[in-house]
Amino acid sequence: MRIGEILRLRSDFEDITSGYQMAAGSDIDTLDWFIENGHRSNSLRNGFDDAKKIALAIKEYYDGTKNT
């Protein structure tokens, strides 16, 4: 995955979650929180499944590159 795609995914995540009950943004801590806790007050919102897939994809990329 290229950095441009990751940036696009971050933007998509922020667009989807703009009205969700959570901290704004898409830094790695926010993505971690969303993966673990986002379902509590957001699972019935439109786009939740897509947002979770995006968060998992970005987290996977981050975990694979944080040591390089």
Structure tokens at 12: 């998509």
Instruction: Report the percentage of the chain scoring pLDDT > 70.
Output: 96
Q: What is the DSSP letter of 23?
A: -
pLDDT of the residue at 33: 96
pLDDT of the residue at 65: 78
Q: For residue 67, is pLDDT > 80?
A: no
Contact 13, 51 (CB under 8 A): yes
Q: For residue 26, is pLDDT > 90?
A: no
Q: Terminal CA-to-CA distance of the chain, rounded, Å?
A: 15
Nearest to 45 by CA among 19, 14, 9: 19
pLDDT tens string 35-56? 999 999 999 999 999 999 999 9
Structure tokens at 64: 């694979």
Cβ-based neighbours of 30, under 8 Å, separated by 6 or more: 22, 23, 24
Mean of pLDDT over the chain? 93
